[in-house]
Amino acid sequence: MNQAPGRLPWKSRPARGEYAFYDGRRIKIGTGEQMYHLRAGRVRLVQPDPGSSVDPGRDAARLLFRFPWPEKDGTEPGGYGSAGFGLTLFECRWRRRCRHDNEGRNLYHQGWAGGVLVPVLVCRECSRRHHPRDLAAAQPLIAELREKAARHDEHGNYQAGTLKHATADRIIAGYLAPGKEASAG
């Protein structure tokens, strides 16, 4: 799964609705290359829709999947109400891809890159996509999530704190044990 430096593996696709079958029902899984109603770890639970241009199993490496938010663990594929559930983060720096370091980036997706599941963030200013290629590059992001968790704990919001830690753990698992994460998430 090698790719040229700086090239994103997720191919832009026509912005049409994509569908699959889950539990005998036809569900919307996303639009274009963004499968925001399906997690990478749940691809094996759905069957491709012959009328759709995307087969999420076959095309997984070229697609972006919904980030596995711990808050939504009980939700079935296709059952997520909103397409845009995301989290704004500020601490990551990707100097070569865009200069809007202070504008923050929205974490929406997870995608396969170089054999691991990476978090994919979108710049709030120019909408460019960014992803830390390895766990070392993801450390600022993880640290920011741990910091958010600590602030929640300080205010007695322990459940919110636990969820932020769990989000950081999901990012780590994507790099260290993507197969494991995939079967659980």
In contact, 39 and 110? CB cutoff 8 Å:
yes
Our finding on whether 100 is near Zn ion (CB under 5 A) is yes
Q: Which helix (H) or strand (E) holds 142?
A: helix 139-154
Closest contact distance (angstroms) between CB of 162 and Zn ion is 31
Strands, DSSP E only, in the chain?
17-22, 25-31, 34-39, 47-48, 64-66, 87-89, 105-113, 116-123, 129-130
Contact range with Zn ion by CB under 5 A, out of 45-53, 96-104, 144-152, 172-180: 96-104
Our finding on whether 182 is near Zn ion (CB under 5 A) is no
Our finding on whether 98 is near Zn ion (CB under 5 A) is yes
Q: Which of 20, 29, 123, 173 binds Zn ion (CB under 5 A)?
A: 123
Our finding on whether 126 is near Zn ion (CB under 5 A) is yes
CA distance linking residue 51 with residue 103, whole number of Å: 40
Closest contact distance (angstroms) between CB of 1 and Zn ion is 26
Binding site for Zn ion (CB under 5 A): 98, 100, 123, 125-126, 128
